[in-house]
Amino acid sequence: MDDVPEIQVLPHASRPIPADQVVALYGAEGWWPERSAGQVVMVLDAFPAAGAWRGDRLVGFARCVSDGVLRAYIEDVVVAPDVRGLGVGRALVAAIVEQLQPIPVVSLFCDPGLVPFYEQAGFRPTRHVVLHRLAST
């Protein structure tokens, strides 16, 4: 039997999350190739985040953007492919939501296929349309 370490989900404030490991998780999903470790460091310093750890390896990550009073947005929930189906995503969302108490409105954006996953955590679709303005490069 393998001695596989248990997965722990901890806030960034309890166990600092290395930016390079976050960038590696993004890369494994084909997300945000333009993001740098330096940018991730700034985000981690500014807003709540949580990491899922299997030993020393970061196997999941979630963060939020918030005004700290009225609104928060959960962003970048990502789980390494080899640990999916083990409840890591649910634990990450729960850890972020816990850090956002007592903010009354917590929102997130997701692919349509993930709606049932987030509904299990108490999120509901709205009639709002999400618009983005991307900076030109």
pLDDT at res. 130: 86
Tell me the backbone φ, ψ of residue 37, rounded to 5 degrees. -60, -35
Q: Return per-residue pLDDT of the chain as tens, 137 residues.
A: 467 689 999 999 999 999 999 999 999 999 999 999 999 999 999 999 999 999 999 999 999 999 999 999 999 999 999 999 999 999 999 999 999 999 999 999 999 999 999 999 999 999 998 888 988 75
In degrees, rounded to 5, the angle at the alpha carbon of residue 55 between the alpha carbons of residues 19 and 59 is 50
Q: How far apart are CA 2 and CA 5, in angstroms?
A: 9
Q: How far apart are CA 37 and CA 22, in angstroms?
A: 8
Q: How far apart are CA 22 and CA 30, in angstroms?
A: 12
Domains (range + CATH), the chain: 7-119 (3.40.630.30)
Enter the pTM of the model.
0.92
pLDDT at res. 43: 96
118 a catalytic residue: yes
C-alpha 20 chain-centroid distance: 15
Catalytic residue selected from 53, 61, 118, 123: 118
Closest CA to 4 of 51, 60, 53, 55: 55
| pLDDT tens, position by position, 72-93 | 999 999 999 999 999 999 999 9
